[in-house]
Structure 1
Amino acid sequence: MAQQLPYTVLLVEMDDGVCLYSNPAQEYPEGTQPVIGQAVGATFEKVSDALALVRFSPLSNP
């Protein structure tokens, strides 16, 4: 996984109040950005047999 700078960091607040920092599951198209309050869904990116990272994608357009 190549690192590209700058990169987007999301702070996602779950329905139960738990907050997670993550990166988006996909890059946002140029000229767009995440929107505060936008609904997201979780996906898991397998890094190894012992590790998976949670990533978030928008569920709909804001």
Structure 2
Amino acid sequence: MIAAAYYNFVRIHKTLRVTPAMAAGVMDRLWEMADLVAIIEAAEGPTPARGLYKKRGVV
């Protein structure tokens, strides 16, 4: 999915001279990698909190 998003929204194609999404009229601007990373991080959600750890050898 990430490769498809990069291909359609970030990469400018030589024959089209725009991204496929821009050529299809889906987007009106070129995305940057930062935009793609922000969407991926938002989809992953927050990192769960880790629990307490016991130290080995301590009772």
Same fold (TM over 0.5): no
Judging by fraction of residues, say which structure has more helix: 2
TM-score, structure 2 as length reference: 0.20
Q: Considering only CA atoms, is the larger Rg found in Structure 1 or Structure 2?
A: 2
Point out which structure has higher relative CO (alpha carbons under 8 A, 6+ apart). 1
